[in-house]
Amino acid sequence: RKFIYELQYNFVILHIETISVRMKDITPDNIKTFVRLIEEARRPIIVTHAKPDGDAIGSSAAMFHFLGLCGKQDRLLVLNDNCPRFLGFIRESIPQEALIIREESQQKAFDAIEQADLIICLDFNAFHRTDRLERPLEESAGRKILVDHHLNPARELFDLSFSETEVSSASELLYHILRNTTVINNDAARLGEKCAQSLMTGMTTDTNNFANSVFPSTLHMASDLLAAGTDRDFILNRLYNQYSENRLRLMGHMMKDLLKITGDGVAYIVLDSRTQKEYEINDGDTEGFVNLPLAIDKVRMSLLLKEDGDRVRVSIRSKKGTSANLCAREHFNGGGHENAAGGRLNIPEDISSIEEAADYIEKHTHIFINEENEA
Ligand code: 5GP
Ligand code: MN
C-alpha cells in the first residue's frame, strides 16, 4: 500500500502539457494533493447541490466510481433530494446501500457527513446550495475538496479547490482532473463504463446537448470518451426520449398560454402548484423549458418560476450581453453562471403569494435591464 502511494505521489502527473486549454487549478501539485487526500481517506463521501440536475448526479456518480478504482469501497453518495426520474439510469449505477438521500433518511445523511474524513463537493460553490446539508457540512471536521464551475466559489471552506468557469460542467472539469491521475493515465478506457457514462451525461445535460458552454476542452473530453467506447446514443435516448406525454402537453400550454414578454425583452413563465398538479409534473419534467423563449429574436433573458411550497424556484437564462448571474444575485436571492443562473423568491418575504410573482418579475427585471444599460 505504501509503495503504491509513493509511486502515485511521485509520478502523479503526466499529461498536463497535453491539455488543449489550460486550467489554472489543474496543476501537478493540486493533482498530487487530490490523489493524496483520496489515498488517506478511510470514509470518503460525495455531496452535490440540492435538487440535483444531470451534471450534479453525473459528476457525483463518476467520482463515486473513481473512488472504487482507487480501492475505496466504503464510499457514500449523500444527496439532499432524490434525483429526477430521467437520471434513474445513472442512479442505478450506484449500489443502493451506498446512496443516502436526506429527504428520505435525514439522520443517516447527517451521520454520514459527521463521520466522513473526506468530503468531495461537486457542482456547487457554497454549502447553502446543498439546502439542509448546509449545517452538517459547516460543522464537519473532514477534509474537503471542491470540484465546481460556478462563479464566486467559497474557496476558503476547502482544503483543495478545483474551480474553473471556462468549462462546460463539473463533469468535464472532473474528467480533466481524473485523466491526469496515474490511475487513469490519460486513458479514458481506464475510467470504466459507468464512470465514463456518468461524465458524458453530466456534460451533455449542462451543455443542452452541445448547444451552449462548449469549449475546446469539452470536445476533447467528448472525443476521448467516445473513443473509449461510451455509448452516446444510449445516453441521449435515456435523457431525451423517455419523458411522459404530459411533459410535452405542459410545454405546449406554457408556450401558448403562460409565456409573457415584457417591453424590455424579458420572457417569463410562472408555473403555479395547481398547474403542476394538473399535469402531474415531477422534478425534472420542466428541464430545458426555460431555454425555449430565447429562440425569439427580441428576447434577451428568460425566466421560469415554479411554485414549490413556501418558495418559488427561479431559473434564468440570458443571451450574451445580459447577465443572468447578476440578475439572480441582485433580484432573486441566487446566482450561477453568466448566462444560466437560478434563485428563489420567498413567500411571504419577497411576495405574499404566487399571484404577485408576475408583478415582481416585471418590476425587478425592468430595474435590472435599465441599470445594466446605464452601466
Ligand atoms: P437551473 O435553472 O438549471 O436550476 O440553474 C441554473 C444554474 O444556476 C445552475 O448552474 C445552478 O447551479 C445555479 N443556481 C440555481 N439555483 C441557484 C440558487 O438558488 N443559488 C445560486 N447561487 N445558484 C443557483
Ligand atoms: Mn453544473
Please state the three-class secondary structure of the chain as a single string. Answer: CHHHHHHHHHCCCCCHHHCCCCCCCCCHHHHHHHHHHHHHCCCEEEEECCCCCHHHHHHHHHHHHHHHHCCCCCCEEEECCCCCHHHHHHHCCCCHHHEEECCCCHHHHHHHHHHCCEEEEECCCCHHHHHHHHHHHHHCCCEEEEEECCCCCCHHHCCEEEECCCCCCHHHHHHHHHHCCCCCCCCHHHHCHHHHHHHHHHHHHHCCCCCCCCCHHHHHHHHHHHHCCCCHHHHHHHHHCCCCHHHHHHHHHHHHHHCEECCCCEEEEEECHHHHHHCCCCCCCCCCHHHHHHHCCCCCEEEEEEEECCEEEEEEEECCCCCHHHHHHHHCCCEECCCEEEEEEECCCCCCCHHHHHHHHHHHHHHHHHHHHHC
Grade residue 20 by pLDDT with cuts at 50, 70 and 90: low
Is 253 near ligand 1, meaning CB less than 6 Å away? Answer: no
Residue 156 scores a pLDDT above 60: yes
User: Helices 2-10 & 28-40, crossing angle to 10 degrees?
Assistant: 170
**Which residue CA neighbors atom 6 of ligand 1 most closely?**
341
Nearest 5°: CA angle at 358, between 356 and 363?
100
Which phi and psi (to 5°) does residue 6 adopt? Answer: -65, -40
pLDDT tens, residue by residue, 249-264: 999 999 999 999 999 9
Is 340 near ligand 1, meaning CB less than 6 Å away? Answer: yes
pLDDT at residue 375, as a whole number:
61
Pocket test for ligand 1, best of 122, 171, 315 (most atoms within 8 A of CB): 315
Of 17-21, 123-127, 165-169, the range with the lowest mean pLDDT is: 17-21
Pocket test for ligand 1, best of 124, 148, 150, 311 (most atoms within 8 A of CB): 150
Is 52 near ligand 1, meaning CB less than 6 Å away? Answer: no
Give the Å distance between the CA of 7 and the centre of ligand 2.
33
Residues β-bridged to residue 314: 305, 343
Answer for the pair 103, 80: CB distance below 8 angstroms, yes or no. Answer: yes
Q: Give the other-Cβ count within 10 Å of 347's Cβ.
A: 17
Grade residue 177 by pLDDT with cuts at 50, 70 and 90: very high
Answer for the pair 199, 221: CB distance below 8 angstroms, yes or no. Answer: yes
Q: Which three cell numbers stand for residue 266?
A: 424579458
What's CA 94's distance to the chain center, in Å? Answer: 18
Ligand approaching nearest to the C-alpha of 202: 2
Taking residues 14-21, report their average pLDDT: 48
Residue 372 scores a pLDDT above 50: yes
Grade residue 51 by pLDDT with cuts at 50, 70 and 90: very high
pLDDT tens, residue by residue, 66-121: 999 999 999 999 999 999 999 999 999 999 999 999 999 999 999 999 999 999 99
What is the CB-side half-sphere exposure of residue 75 using CA atoms within 13 A?
A: 27
Is 153 near ligand 1, meaning CB less than 6 Å away? Answer: no
CA 202 to CA 164: how far, in whole Å?
16
Is 54 near ligand 1, meaning CB less than 6 Å away? Answer: no
Is 341 near ligand 1, meaning CB less than 6 Å away? Answer: yes
User: Helices 54-69 & 170-179, crossing angle to 10 degrees?
Assistant: 20
Share of the chain above pLDDT 90, in %: 91
Answer for the pair 328, 336: CB distance below 8 angstroms, yes or no. Answer: yes
CA 302 to CA 289: how far, in whole Å?
10
